[in-house]
Amino acid sequence: MKHRVVAGTFLALGIAWGCAGSTGSKRFAFDARIGGVEDRTTFTNETGWTITLTKAEITLGPVYLNVVAPLRDSTQSLRELFVKNAWAHGEGHLDDGRVVGEVLGQVRFDALSSELVTFPVRGTMTQDEVRTSEIWFYPEPGVSAESTKIATVALDVAGVAVRDSTNVAFRGQLILNDAWQPDQVNGTRGTASITGLRQVRGIPSSFFPDEGGHLEIRLDVARLFRGANFANLEANPTDRDGTKVLVQSKSGAVSTDQVMTNLYQGLHDATGTYAVRWIPR
């Protein structure tokens, strides 16, 4: 696969440095790199399926670095994670922390490869102790972060799952659109915004960055399939060759299936899917 990097300014999401850099620490630019984890092409998940992936392309960005400590309770539900808005007080501060670094670009990479891909734009940092990272799955540059009708594929996967005598070929594309927003009772205000659903916050990332170093992010694609049970795909659409198509939908003959739900949950797992560290110069 050819890695594709997409440059984007994401100006509406940027930090006002006079605010985020209020500590007066040194500011500098840095490179950010992302890749998969070795030996993740074939693995066995918690439901007993041996999964062999032939494709696992991920598009993500921007990335933010925060001084806030990780969540004390890593078992918090996805709903609880998304209750808080990303920005508060005039969209300058996080309501539970302070952003000191940002990479305002978007990148697509092969999660089956441990080869690192460099983001198309350099990050900017106010030197301070970083305790957590935030990975955002936003639409391509030029599309509003609040848009629900998008075509940006966050995860594009294909492979084969085997358990006992059952063999299931599958493929699917996960798009973070309004299919993932919970239905709300008429007259009530929902707490899960579309922008919140595209953010993974509180990823443990303990380091003090030095000028000349770079940020390294690893994504363990096996974590996305941890609870996937391919026996639940009987009603899913099927290609002519028998490949099952994973579904995300609130309506139609098939609603969002169990495997797709696991992929979505895995992308939002702040305590296992991602590893973020600083590589000194």
The answer to whether position 144 is within a domain reads: yes
pLDDT classification of 16: cutoffs 50, 70, 90 = very low
100 within domain boundaries: yes
147 close to 139: Cβ distance less than 8 angstroms: yes
Place 186 in a pLDDT band, splitting at 50, 70 and 90.
low
- 1 belongs to a structural domain: no
Q: What integer pLDDT is reported at residue 70 of this predicted model?
A: 87
Model pTM score = 0.83
Per DSSP, 76 falls in state: -
Is there a domain that residue 22 lies in?
Answer: no
Buried b / exposed e along 186-209 (16+ C-beta atoms within 10 A): eeeeeebbbbbbbbbbbbbbebeb
Confidence tier at 251 by pLDDT (50, 70, 90)? confident
Residue 6 lies in a domain: no
Higher pLDDT residue, 24 or 278?
Answer: 278
Is residue 6's pLDDT more than 70? Answer: no
Q: How confident is the model at residue 183 (pLDDT cuts 50, 70, 90)?
A: confident
Residue 61 lies in a domain: yes
Dihedrals φ, ψ of 152, to 5°? -65, 115
Rounded CA separation 151/265 (Å): 20
Residue showing tokens 């693995």: 43
Distance CA 134, CA 266 (A): 15
Q: Which domain, by its residues, includes 125?
A: 27-70+96-181+190-279
- Confirm whether 51 is domain-assigned: yes
271 domain residue, yes or no: yes
pLDDT on residue 14: 45
Around Cβ 234, how many Cβ atoms within 10 Å?
11
Domains in the chain, number: 1
